Amino acid sequence: MSIASLARRLALALLLVLAAAPAAAQESKRIALSFDDVPRHPGGFMTSDERTIALIAGLHEAGVEQAAFFVTTGNLDDDYGKGGEARIRAYVAAGHVIGNHSHSHGWLWNGDIDAYIADLDKAEAWLADKHGKRPWYRFPYLDEGRDPIRRDALRTALRQRGLLNGYVTVDNFDWAIDNLARQAMEQRKTIDLTNLGAFYVETIVDTAEFNDRIARETLGRSPAHVLLLHETDLNALFIVDLVAGLRAAGWTIITMDEAYRDPIAAVEPDTVYLGAGRVAALANVAGRDPASLVHERTDEAELARLFEGRVIVRNER
């Protein structure tokens, strides 16, 4: 081989390395898991204790090192909240962390601002001395206010308290699918559990892919994602399958601590379009129409239609 051809080959090799580096970086999709409304009302399949045991075991089996559980402290006063504190301790003992999801789970957009802040302070007071506590506030309904006055009042309030907005980047209606399953159980319909699991995983993975595409198109990169889930029976039943589905689609599961170290955690999007998660908000700031930022399965009627067709077993006799 001549010196010239060797030089050409080296140059080509270098080019390939340079070209491959950004592509490889683009291929890595990272996501952390979070569960809201803890302790949540029961679903159709198990008791609250069984649900917590199954969820902890599933997260362990799936190799999820650290998920976050966002506590709605008012739920502890409810009948179904009995034993909730012990279940929260169990999540933390298993390596997971907890954050603030308000005391009463109210809306911000139409409520009194001071009362809203007092309510999150009440939850913060309960959480203050708990192990595994993180300074994160997850807005109920992802409602950060629909006008700049409410939005900015809460941004200031969180800053004063040293709280980070516990945003999500992957909104989805996991809770609606859990509701459909519970209703079907109550109506004594026959559920095909295999199909339910497949439908559930497909829906969540697809909403993650959808938001990652939007992020790449508008941010030019894939941020560390935060998946919104709830403390539901379906997550207790299918978390292992869900994590397997995410990994099969190329996702790496990361800790919530790592997710909130992403640069997008420090951004306060200059929009009031905030209820579909941070990626959607940033895409809206970049000029995207909100209608293009909502996944078709973040819709109760659409989910009900699909659920009926794919999960319910017809008794044709």
For Zn ion, the binding residues (CB under 5 A) are 36-37, 140
- Output the residue with the shortest Cβ distance to Zn ion: 36
Using the minimum distance from each CB to Zn ion, give the nearer residue, 71 or 240: 71
DSSP per-residue string spanning 233-272? HHHHHHHHHHHHHHHHTTEEE--HHHHTTSGGGG---SSS
| Contact indicator for 75, 38 with CB cutoff of 8 Å | yes
Minimum CB separation of residue 244 from Zn ion in Å reads 26
CA distances, 275 to each of 24, 57, 163, 279 (Å): 32, 31, 19, 11
Of 242, 248, 249, the closest CA to residue 227 belongs to 242
Minimum CB separation of residue 131 from Zn ion in Å reads 22
Using the minimum distance from each CB to Zn ion, give the nearer residue, 124 or 212: 124
Minimum CB separation of residue 309 from Zn ion in Å reads 28
Q: How far apart are CA 275 and CA 278, in angstroms?
A: 8
Q: Name residue 119's amino acid.
A: D
Pairing of strands 190-191, 225-230: unpaired
Q: How far apart are CA 105 and CA 119, in angstroms?
A: 9
Minimum CB separation of residue 9 from Zn ion in Å reads 58
Residue 27 burial class via C-beta count within 10 angstroms: exposed 0-12, middle 13-18, buried 19 and up: exposed
Minimum CB separation of residue 103 from Zn ion in Å reads 12
Using the minimum distance from each CB to Zn ion, give the nearer residue, 75 or 255: 75
Q: How far apart are CA 225 and CA 246, in angstroms?
A: 12
Minimum CB separation of residue 175 from Zn ion in Å reads 8
Of 194, 233, 309, the closest CA to residue 51 belongs to 233
Using the minimum distance from each CB to Zn ion, give the nearer residue, 81 or 140: 140
- If DSSP codes are grouped into helix, strand and coil, which group holds residue 39? coil
Minimum CB separation of residue 14 from Zn ion in Å reads 51
Minimum CB separation of residue 42 from Zn ion in Å reads 16
Using the minimum distance from each CB to Zn ion, give the nearer residue, 137 or 251: 137
Using the minimum distance from each CB to Zn ion, give the nearer residue, 37 or 174: 37
- If DSSP codes are grouped into helix, strand and coil, which group holds residue 41? coil
Using the minimum distance from each CB to Zn ion, give the nearer residue, 140 or 277: 140
Work out the angle between the directed axes of helices 193-219 and 174-186 (0-180°, nearest 10).
160
Q: Name residue 156's amino acid.
A: T
Minimum CB separation of residue 105 from Zn ion in Å reads 6
Using the minimum distance from each CB to Zn ion, give the nearer residue, 212 or 233: 233
Using the minimum distance from each CB to Zn ion, give the nearer residue, 100 or 218: 100
Q: Give residues with Cβ within 8 angstroms of 241, minimum separation 6.
A: 197, 200, 201
